[in-house]
Chain A
Amino acid sequence: MLIRRERNDRSRTRSDCVVPASATVDRRSFLRRSGLGAGGLLALGSLPLASVRKSAAGESTLEIRKNVCTHCSVGCSVRAEVENGVWVRQQPEWDSPINRGTHCAKGASIREIVRAERRLRYPLKLVGGQWQRLSWDQAIDEIGDKMAAVRQQAGPDSVYMIGSAKMTNEAAYLFRKFGAFWGSNSVDHQARICHSTTVAGVANTWGYGAQTNSYNDLRNSKTMVIMGGNPAEAHPISMQHVLAGQEINRANLVVIDPRFTRTAAHATRYIRIRPGTDIPALWGMLWHIFENGWEDKDFIRRRVYGMDEVRKEVAKWIPDEVERVTGIPGDQLKRVAEMLAKEKPATIIWCMGQTQHSVGTANVRACCTVLLATGNVGAPGCGANIFRGHTNVQGATDLGLDVTTLPLYYGLTEGAWRHWARVWDVPYEWLVSRFDGIPSKGGRPARTPKQNMETPGITSTRWFDGALLPADDIDQRSPIRALMVFGHGGNTITRLPEAVKGLGTLDLLVVGDPHPTTFSALDARRDNTYLLPICTSLESDGSRTASNRSLQWGEQIVKPAFESKDDYEAIYLLAKKLGLAEQMFKRIAVDNNRPSSEDILREINRGGWSTGYCGQSPERLKAHMKHQAEFNIVTLRARADAPEVGGDYYGLPWPCWGKPELRHPGSAILYNTDLHVKDGGSTFRARFGVEHNGETLLAEDSYTRDSELVDGYPEFTVAVLKKLGWDEQLTPEERATIERIGGDKVDAVTWATDLSGGIQRVCLEHGVCHYGNGKARANAWNLPDAIPVHREPIYTPRPDLVAKYPTRPDERQFRLPNIGFSVQKAAVERGIAKQFPLILTTGRIVDYEGGGEETRSNPWLAELVQEMFVEINPSDAGARGIKDGQWVWVLGAENQARAKVKALVTDRVGPGVAFMPFHFSGWYQGRDMRGFYPPGADPIVLGECANLVTTYGYDPVTGMQEPKATLCQIQAG
């Protein structure tokens, strides 16, 4: 029944969808009518409501704080309303050019993780299998003592450190620095299991291993091929840009995936592929391209090296062979190939589907090669749009939480260490002295501390092999004896049963996290286990780098909850206990045990020349967050006359060259030669030399706009500068710094080691790219497979193909033996594919994130997926007598592992393929482990870990695991 209302005008805030009418509802008439307006309420009702509201507003202490959602790498801004130090409400942050106020389920519910009732509240210690509370001081004391003891007995390499993709850049950098000061390169984080292969593969192709364009830039695409990614569930806000591009440009959206994903449902073409056969599919596409002469010959001539060798490999992949291996029929790929070549700009988007394989590095390189062949790199709407995982996995990777490098991809060479020794203002020799030597093992030569320092550590995917394998197999003084995990799940690494064994052997386990994590609920240890409550990234300020390389500065929304501390303070306390604080925090102000995040970023700026992390000062980043509304949603650029941020690209996406004062705008699109370098233009890095096998590696007839050098050129050193006579343009201060760095080898100082920034500044003035102007490599001769070759997954359902496409021979990598070949061979000989006939692949669902402890503790999310499940095709289910919603056992091919989950019978997966999300833990082989969690800190929803049943398989370049293609059997339970 309609009741007439009076109008009452209210002030309005900006609204995107619709201009609301003066939308107010006067309740007075209803109250009176319903008799509820008796007495006081009626009196209240007689006051004009506007005045009631005003006084309420005047009394509150409502503050607005901006941070970045802590979940995926899209980097949605979170607008928090804080009242009296309590986060009371979230509003859409309309100004953010990346998400424009929108969120997915995780971002829209993120306020809950800060008030979360199920978080770790205070430090805990496991004593005789029981959790005991202790103070931070006690905890740090005991941990420090134990670490020192382990170091003494077994050397610094015996402590394995895992940092977090949810750490801010500053925290990640500190953590890496801590590892360096500790004396070990075994410092890793989620990128290992996520995009480590991307970084290595793509960087080895054209210079940097990051997303070349941006999510927003997808609005310019005419063809988008999503191969091995499910952004509708993993990066929902990216779909805002994908679908906008699809609509605006009537673009092709092609999804190539074993599952008919939620992304595929919006595609204009879906292609089903067998997991682990990406290279044949990509070469299959390239086959059509070469066959029909659709390749961009001009682009190849000018900017690509080694395409001819690719042609040879591609020639083998005729459509019949492609179909035999991948299952993709006939000429379905031809149309896609044509789109890539002709309906440009075209881009390839990928995520774990490409990377999480034993051929991950080769996979991504094949993608890059296809893009290069079709001239789809370095312009709006095209490029390699790599969707990274967690909030700051990009930043944490950049800042060096990686066993193969120091911060900012300097590597582990002597030059790298000396560079950082300079930045850190500690003697290089002292850093060397922190390292152990490696004794001779198994007939392999011993290494000095200096050589050890230049050797990558053990990868996080195999830390437990580093604990369990015979000492003779491990290239360091002693196996892993202690594990320190800050913000990494325990259930996201394959071969969980073996990790459980490994956990049992450790002298010390330290977990620093807002939640207890899987590590606390595995029944693997009874003592010497510490849980340190670290706050979420919303309770911490600092910068985070989104997948498109934009840095966003997040404000601390509220103080850390309960007794949790942020990463900075925790690392500081640990460093202090171990006597490293003075050295570590020389130029970083520490107030009340809490280091200044701004100072840390400034230190990063001072050292971050190689990757262009030098120009993003805290001040500039904060200005960007303040003026988010100034940035264009497609180009991400602010108008030249915008206050404080004029001309900048949003977030100063790296590389942002030179000192902050130079105000380089950042590089929204990498390798774009249509722009001046001062406008963010750039070339392919000339990082592989000037020539190979008699052919030039420098670009031909390709250079950035208005470049003074109109051809390819090598990386800039002082020597090159001198040759061009540009060294005269260095200022005296710059020159002095360079000479101090170079000593008697001044000419060898490079654009990356020049702490003055002078080389970069001068080059920018001349419109040239200081890292050189090279060709991208389709042939990466330093990698195991110089041209990507198809290799069957270790556990393949096609033993008939193993003879022709075996995995790489057994080899030692990252201090351990990689026996993938032997495992694959044994699997074939034992007929594993018959016993375990279903391909098991894993992946994400939209409601949870990563290991899932945090999101499964959020009731608003937990309600949406209350049980772990396995997707199984109806024909496979029918053959096994399995009904939808029934309990089943998923049997893994190794360790006699089995997981008890619910069956989700769906056509989403094809016959012969099963899918499990990897966000669950808390059950173990059918056993509910809830009781092992500290009381009150167990997630709401528990379930089996997918990685219980995943198996051996490691990429030779990065040690990436293979959870995307293994085998299983499913039985009614």
Chain B
Amino acid sequence: MARMKFLCDSNRCIDCNGCVTACKNEHDVPWGINRRRVVTINDGRPGERSVSMACMHCTEAPCAAVCPVDCFYTTADAVVLHSKDLCIGCGYCFYACPFGAPQYPRAGNFGSRGKMDKCTFCAGGPEPDLSKAEYLKYGRNRLAEGRLPLCAEMCSTKSLLAGDGEIIAQIYRERVHKRGYGAGAWGWQVAYRETVTT
């Protein structure tokens, strides 16, 4: 069984935001919700590196653990999803998420955040696969179509990899070996409790 993961190769990421708008496009994500974002460290200086970040679908996902209404579930592919019907918009998942993945439609004043939304690894949600209800609430379900997340498929430099963790780790390893350098798999230690040895 595949264990799905994301890996952003920061040595290739050029902060083109292709992953960001691909996600917006595919799932019709409204203004204000940023399922995926690119953060640039050391902006403007040698050492500058950009990393594309969305939900990492962690092992023992902190969001799922702290949710007071237990609205999360993990699929057989280790994709962490949640039910917007059960979500009460309390915001705990945002406090717990090391990667800032949970997004809320409203600023959250007076505790009115609205239903949490986040990257679904293009795997939809609890509604029936490929149904309209699923699309309206969670976006497209590419995994059910046998595809992979669009952000990674459209990444301009093939920096963002998504898919079976073993395979993308191998791809990354080979890449690092071939070119002689690699910053590592950002977030893997915190998300998956392991790193990619290169």
Contact = CB atoms under 8 A, between A and B. Distances in A.
Interface string B64-106: 1000001011111101010101100000000000000000000
Contacts of A265: 46-50
Contact of B150 (A18, A92, A260): A92
A18 B154 contact: no
Interface stretch (B109-117, B173-181, B188-196): B173-181
B126 A30 contact: yes
A104 interface: yes
B54 interface: no
A246 B179 contact: yes
A234 to B, nearest CB: 10
B86 A34 contact: yes
A108 B25 contact: yes
B1 A21 contact: yes
Given A17-B161, A860-B21, A906-B43, A250 B179 contact: yes
Contacts of A56: 130
Given A30-B73, A846-B17, A250 B156 contact: no
B14 interface: yes
Interface in B109-139: 123-124, 126-131
A701 to B, nearest CB: 39
A658 B185 CA distance: 52
A727 B35 CA distance: 68
Contacts of A92: 150, 153-154
A489 B24 CA distance: 27
Contact of A108 (B22, B86, B171): B22
B163 A20 contact: yes
B24 A109 contact: yes
Judged by DSSP, the binding face of A is loop
A973 to B, nearest CB: 22
A103 B154 contact: yes
Nearest to B75: A25
Contact of B156 (A16, A111, A239): A239
A847 interface: yes
B16 interface: yes
Contacts of A262: 14-15, 48, 50
A101 B148 CA distance: 13
A848 B49 CA distance: 21
B73 to A, nearest CB: 5
A709 to B, nearest CB: 44
B152 interface: yes
B14 A34 contact: no
A101 B25 contact: no
A36 B126 contact: yes
Interface residues of B, number: 75
Interface in A22-49: 23-25, 27, 30-31, 34, 36, 41, 44-45, 49
Contact of A239 (B14, B45, B72, B131): B14
B20 interface: yes
Interface stretch (A2-10, A373-381, A748-756): A2-10
Contacts of B161: 17-18
A262 B10 CA distance: 12
A108 B76 CA distance: 29
A644 interface: no
Contacts of B154: 92, 101-103, 107-108
A879 interface: no
B187 interface: no
A787 interface: no
Contacts of B156: 99, 102-104, 236-237, 239-240
A260 B44 CA distance: 6
Contact of A860 (B2, B25, B155): B25
A622 to B, nearest CB: 25
Nearest to A111: B25
B153 A17 contact: yes
Given A20-B164, A907-B44, A49 B25 contact: no
Contacts of A766: none
Contacts of B34: 863
A724 interface: no
Contacts of A847: 17
Given A7-B76, A20-B163, A89 B157 contact: no
Contact of B129 (A3, A49, A240, A243): A49
Given A232-B15, A236-B14, A243-B157, A260 B124 contact: no
B20 A105 contact: yes
Given A2-B74, A11-B146, A233-B16, A248 B178 contact: yes
Contacts of B1: 21
Nearest to B161: A17
A109 B144 CA distance: 23
A577 interface: no
A270 B45 CA distance: 11
Contact of B64 (A1, A15, A89, A99): A1
B101 to A, nearest CB: 17
Contacts of B12: 243, 266
A5 B148 contact: no
A10 B144 contact: yes
A640 interface: no
B162 interface: yes
B74 A102 contact: no
Contact of B17 (A52, A105, A859): A105
Q: Which of B22, B46, B145, B156 has the most CB of A within 10 A?
A: B156
Interface in B15-33: 15-22, 24-26, 31-32
Interface in A84-107: 89-90, 92, 99, 101-107
Contact of B146 (A12, A45, A906): A12
A51 to B, nearest CB: 12
Interface string A941-970: 000000000000000000000000000000
Given A21-B2, A108-B22, A237-B156, A270 B46 contact: yes
Contacts of B75: 3, 5, 25
Interface string A396-422: 000000000000000000000000000
A56 B4 CA distance: 27
A527 interface: no
Contact of B144 (A24, A112, A263, A864): A24
Contacts of B162: 17-18
A12 B148 CA distance: 10
B2 A236 contact: no
A152 interface: no
A13 B19 CA distance: 20
Contacts of A908: 43-45
Given A1-B64, A92-B153, A265-B48, A236 B18 contact: yes
Given A20-B164, A23-B2, A108-B21, A4 B146 contact: no
Nearest to B123: A25
B146 A13 contact: yes
B85 to A, nearest CB: 6
Contact of B16 (A2, A15, A20, A105): A105
B31 A863 contact: yes
Top 7 A-B pairs ranked by shortest CB distance?
Answer: A18-B163, A21-B2, A908-B44, A12-B146, A105-B17, A109-B21, A5-B76
Given A240-B157, A909-B44, 16 more contacts: A10-B144, A15-B148, A17-B167, A21-B164, A23-B77, A30-B83, A34-B86, A90-B22, A102-B155, A103-B18, A232-B14, A243-B11, A260-B45, A846-B15, A859-B31, A860-B21
26 contacts: A15-B153, A17-B168, A20-B2, A21-B1, A21-B2, A25-B123, A25-B143, A27-B129, A52-B131, A104-B16, A104-B17, A104-B156, A107-B154, A108-B19, A108-B20, A109-B22, A232-B14, A232-B15, A236-B156, A236-B157, A248-B178, A265-B49, A859-B31, A863-B31, A863-B32, A906-B43
Interface of B: 1-2, 4, 11-12, 14-22, 24-26, 31-32, 34, 43-50, 64, 70, 72-77, 79, 81, 83, 85-86, 123-124, 126-131, 140, 143-148, 150, 152-158, 161-164, 167-168, 171, 175, 178-180
